[in-house]
Amino acid sequence: MQGKKKIVNIIEDYFAGSGKYLVDIKITPQNKVMVYIDGDKGVTISDCADLSKHIEKFFDRDVEDFELEVSSAGVGKPLMITRQYLKNIGRKIAILTHDNQKIVGKLLSVDEENNGLEIEIIDKNASKKKKSKQDQESKNIFISFEDIKEAKIKAEF
Protein backbone atom coordinates (compact mmCIF):
# COMPACT_ATOMS: atom_id res chain seq x y z
CA MET A 1 0.00 0.00 0.00
CA GLN A 2 1.37 3.37 -1.00
CA GLY A 3 -0.98 5.53 1.06
CA LYS A 4 0.68 6.06 4.46
CA LYS A 5 0.71 9.84 4.12
CA LYS A 6 -2.89 9.74 2.88
CA ILE A 7 -3.92 7.68 5.93
CA VAL A 8 -2.15 10.11 8.28
CA ASN A 9 -4.05 13.03 6.71
CA ILE A 10 -7.37 11.15 6.90
CA ILE A 11 -6.86 10.37 10.59
CA GLU A 12 -5.65 13.84 11.55
CA ASP A 13 -8.67 15.43 9.81
CA TYR A 14 -11.03 12.93 11.46
CA PHE A 15 -9.61 13.51 14.96
CA ALA A 16 -9.30 17.32 14.69
CA GLY A 17 -10.51 18.86 17.95
CA SER A 18 -11.55 15.52 19.46
CA GLY A 19 -8.77 14.89 22.00
CA LYS A 20 -7.87 11.72 20.09
CA TYR A 21 -4.66 11.38 18.12
CA LEU A 22 -2.55 9.15 15.92
CA VAL A 23 0.39 7.42 17.61
CA ASP A 24 1.79 5.27 14.81
CA ILE A 25 1.06 3.57 11.50
CA LYS A 26 2.82 0.45 10.29
CA ILE A 27 2.37 -1.05 6.85
CA THR A 28 3.78 -4.50 6.12
CA PRO A 29 4.93 -5.67 2.66
CA GLN A 30 1.75 -7.82 2.61
CA ASN A 31 -0.38 -4.63 2.85
CA LYS A 32 -1.42 -5.09 6.46
CA VAL A 33 -2.06 -1.59 7.79
CA MET A 34 -1.82 -1.25 11.57
CA VAL A 35 -3.01 2.04 13.02
CA TYR A 36 -2.38 2.86 16.70
CA ILE A 37 -4.38 5.65 18.29
CA ASP A 38 -4.72 7.21 21.71
CA GLY A 39 -6.69 9.96 23.36
CA ASP A 40 -6.26 12.44 26.15
CA LYS A 41 -9.08 10.59 27.92
CA GLY A 42 -8.37 7.18 26.38
CA VAL A 43 -10.02 5.43 23.45
CA THR A 44 -12.80 2.89 23.23
CA ILE A 45 -13.39 -0.08 20.96
CA SER A 46 -16.07 2.00 19.31
CA ASP A 47 -13.51 4.75 18.57
CA CYS A 48 -11.31 2.16 16.83
CA ALA A 49 -14.20 0.67 14.84
CA ASP A 50 -15.49 4.09 13.77
CA LEU A 51 -12.05 5.20 12.61
CA SER A 52 -11.56 1.94 10.71
CA LYS A 53 -14.84 2.46 8.84
CA HIS A 54 -13.89 6.06 8.11
CA ILE A 55 -10.49 5.10 6.66
CA GLU A 56 -12.04 2.32 4.55
CA LYS A 57 -14.23 4.89 2.74
CA PHE A 58 -11.14 6.45 1.15
CA PHE A 59 -9.73 3.29 -0.45
CA ASP A 60 -11.01 1.05 -3.23
CA ARG A 61 -10.44 -2.64 -2.47
CA ASP A 62 -10.90 -3.44 -6.19
CA VAL A 63 -7.76 -1.41 -6.87
CA GLU A 64 -5.67 -2.47 -3.87
CA ASP A 65 -6.18 -5.32 -1.44
CA PHE A 66 -5.21 -4.57 2.15
CA GLU A 67 -5.96 -5.55 5.74
CA LEU A 68 -6.72 -2.72 8.17
CA GLU A 69 -6.33 -2.99 11.93
CA VAL A 70 -7.05 0.00 14.19
CA SER A 71 -6.23 -0.37 17.87
CA SER A 72 -5.42 1.56 20.98
CA ALA A 73 -1.82 2.24 21.92
CA GLY A 74 -2.86 1.09 25.38
CA VAL A 75 -1.32 -0.21 28.56
CA GLY A 76 1.74 -2.34 28.02
CA LYS A 77 2.66 -0.77 24.70
CA PRO A 78 5.65 1.57 24.55
CA LEU A 79 5.06 5.32 24.59
CA MET A 80 5.98 6.75 21.21
CA ILE A 81 5.04 10.43 21.14
CA THR A 82 5.28 13.36 23.55
CA ARG A 83 1.51 13.66 23.90
CA GLN A 84 1.40 10.17 25.45
CA TYR A 85 3.93 11.19 28.09
CA LEU A 86 1.88 14.32 28.86
CA LYS A 87 -1.27 12.22 29.24
CA ASN A 88 0.44 9.96 31.77
CA ILE A 89 1.94 12.53 34.15
CA GLY A 90 1.51 11.25 37.71
CA ARG A 91 1.61 7.58 36.73
CA LYS A 92 4.31 4.96 37.26
CA ILE A 93 6.67 4.59 34.30
CA ALA A 94 9.34 2.05 33.39
CA ILE A 95 12.15 3.27 31.17
CA LEU A 96 14.86 1.31 29.43
CA THR A 97 17.74 3.51 28.27
CA HIS A 98 19.92 2.89 25.24
CA ASP A 99 22.68 1.69 27.60
CA ASN A 100 20.19 -0.89 29.02
CA GLN A 101 19.69 0.88 32.35
CA LYS A 102 16.24 0.22 33.83
CA ILE A 103 14.59 3.11 35.63
CA VAL A 104 11.20 2.91 37.31
CA GLY A 105 9.49 5.87 38.91
CA LYS A 106 6.64 8.34 38.85
CA LEU A 107 6.40 10.57 35.77
CA LEU A 108 6.43 14.11 37.17
CA SER A 109 6.67 16.32 34.10
CA VAL A 110 7.47 16.53 30.42
CA ASP A 111 9.87 19.26 29.35
CA GLU A 112 9.34 19.78 25.63
CA GLU A 113 11.79 22.70 25.56
CA ASN A 114 14.64 20.54 26.90
CA ASN A 115 13.37 17.43 25.09
CA GLY A 116 12.96 15.12 28.05
CA LEU A 117 11.06 14.23 31.19
CA GLU A 118 11.44 14.30 34.94
CA ILE A 119 10.67 11.28 37.06
CA GLU A 120 10.72 10.63 40.79
CA ILE A 121 12.51 7.46 41.77
CA ILE A 122 12.64 5.80 45.18
CA ASP A 123 16.16 5.35 46.48
CA LYS A 124 15.98 1.65 47.33
CA ASN A 125 19.35 1.62 49.07
CA ALA A 126 18.42 4.47 51.39
CA SER A 127 15.03 2.99 52.18
CA LYS A 128 15.98 -0.55 53.24
CA LYS A 129 15.75 0.35 56.93
CA LYS A 130 12.59 2.42 56.48
CA LYS A 131 9.31 0.81 57.42
CA SER A 132 6.74 2.84 55.52
CA LYS A 133 6.49 4.43 52.08
CA GLN A 134 6.36 7.88 53.68
CA ASP A 135 9.79 7.25 55.22
CA GLN A 136 11.41 6.21 51.94
CA GLU A 137 13.76 8.66 50.26
CA SER A 138 13.16 9.71 46.70
CA LYS A 139 14.98 11.79 44.14
CA ASN A 140 13.98 13.46 40.91
CA ILE A 141 15.96 12.85 37.75
CA PHE A 142 15.79 14.26 34.22
CA ILE A 143 15.93 11.85 31.29
CA SER A 144 16.38 13.05 27.73
CA PHE A 145 14.09 11.55 25.11
CA GLU A 146 17.27 10.75 23.14
CA ASP A 147 18.40 8.43 25.96
CA ILE A 148 15.14 6.45 26.04
CA LYS A 149 15.10 3.16 24.18
CA GLU A 150 11.64 2.21 25.46
CA ALA A 151 9.17 3.64 27.97
CA LYS A 152 6.01 1.97 29.22
CA ILE A 153 3.40 2.95 31.75
CA LYS A 154 3.20 0.42 34.57
CA ALA A 155 -0.40 -0.51 35.35
CA GLU A 156 -1.15 -0.35 39.06
CA PHE A 157 -4.19 -2.11 40.46
Q: Map out the domains of the chain as residue ranges.
A: 4-72, 82-153
Topology agreement, domain 4-72 and domain 82-153: no
- 40 — pLDDT class (breaks 50, 70, 90): very high
Q: Tell me what percent of the residues of the chain surpass a pLDDT of 70.
A: 89
Assess whether pLDDT exceeds 50 at residue 127. Answer: no
Report the chain's terminal Cα–Cα distance, integer Å.
41
Q: Which residues contact 23 (CB under 8 A, 6 or more apart)?
A: 36, 37, 38, 73, 80, 81, 84
- 3 — pLDDT class (breaks 50, 70, 90): confident
Assess whether pLDDT exceeds 60 at residue 128. Answer: no
Please state which of the four CATH numbers 3.90.1150.10, 3.40.1360.10, 3.30.300.70, 3.30.930.10 is assigned to the domain occupying 4-72: 3.30.300.70
- Classified by CATH at the fold level, domain 82-153 comes out as SH3 type barrels. (2.30.30)
The pTM for the full model equals 0.80
Q: What gap in Å lies between CA 117 and CA 108, rounded to an integer?
A: 8
